[in-house]
Amino acid sequence: KAGVTQTPRYLIKTRGQQVTLSCSPISGHRSVSWYQQTPGQGLQFLFEYFSETQRNKGNFPGRFSGRQFSNSRSEMNVSTLELGDSALYLCASSLSPQPSNQPQHFGDGTRLSIL
Amino acid sequence: DQQVKQNSPSLSVQEGRISILNCDYTNSMFDYFLWYKKYPAEGPTFLISISSIKDKNEDGRFTVFLNKSAKHLSLHIVPSQPGDSAVYFCAASTYSGAGSYQLTFGKGTKLSVIP
């Protein structure tokens, strides 16, 4: 069974550009969450999608956005990139949004570097 | 305000001994707790979890203890093996409305098991 697939694995951008990251969840999983991991900061919740609807959003500026398609694949977009956006972006999927029913499965992430 | 704290950034343990990783939380609305393990260049993988109505959950070499009154949980690994060397994240779940559950992660503890 294929796991969560994130593309690309690595990305280099410059300040002011925008970027789109992609996540393909495990087949059948309808809940997709995005996290940002920076050194020493753990995983910070960005947003969660279920059946193409954003149901929860973390404390990030409006430059961070996302969407989910009918096949549950998800994309996140960051506009007007800043140096501080350099991070590992992780996507996680699950059958049910409730962790006690099924924990989230993570992809290997996209490493975004801003020059 | 950090709601989930892992106060030890790193821990070194001899192979065969017990590893104890600690986690403290402040939000009394957290009702489910999880531990994830992360190797370099890979996404976090689920290890073990515990509901807030229990005080212990065991799975092979891994046991999680929850002290609700102290808002403290710990992960015990016995015996520790070199392959356990990784970063361990503590996560806590709370219902955030509209059918969505949000995970809040600690900053992680890097465990090194010395052969």
Condensed to tens digits (0 to 9), the pLDDT of residues B1-49 reads: 689 999 999 999 999 999 999 999 999 999 999 999 999 989 999 999 9
pLDDT band at A15 (very low <50, low <70, confident <90, very high): very high
CA distance A15 to chain B (A): 24
Q: Which residue of A has its CA nearest to B41?
A: A108
8 Å CB contact of A42 and B46: no
Residue A82 touches partner B, C-beta closer than 8 Å: no
CA distance A2 to chain B (A): 14
Residue among B16, B15, B32, B14 nearest B73 (CA): B32
8 Å CB contact of A50 and B89: no
Per CB-CB distance under 8 Å, the chain B contacts of A43 are 44, 89, 91, 103, 105
Find out whether A33 and A55 touch, Cβ atoms under 8 Å.
no
pLDDT band at A1 (very low <50, low <70, confident <90, very high): low
Write down the residue that tokens 């992660």 correspond to.
B105
What sign does the CA torsion over B62, A44, B6, B102 have?
Answer: negative
Alpha carbons within 13 A on the beta-carbon side of B107:
12
Residue A98 touches partner B, C-beta closer than 8 Å: yes
The CA-atom distances, in angstroms, between B31 and each of A34, A80, B1, B39 are 21, 37, 19, 27
Q: For A80-101, write each residue's pLDDT tens digit.
A: 999 999 999 999 999 887 877 7
Q: For A28-62, write each residue's pLDDT tens digit.
A: 999 999 999 998 788 999 999 999 999 989 999 99
Q: Taking chain A, what is the end-to-end CA distance rounded to the nearest angstrom?
A: 37
Q: Using CB atoms and an 8 Å cut-off, which of residues 41-80 of chain B contact chain A?
A: 41-46, 49, 51
8 Å CB contact of B103 and A107: no
Among the partner-chain residues B9, B32, B103, the one whose CB lies closest to the CB of A45 is B103
The residues, ordered by sequence, that sit 6+ positions from B74 with a Cβ below 8 Å of its Cβ are B20, B21, B22, B23, B64, B65
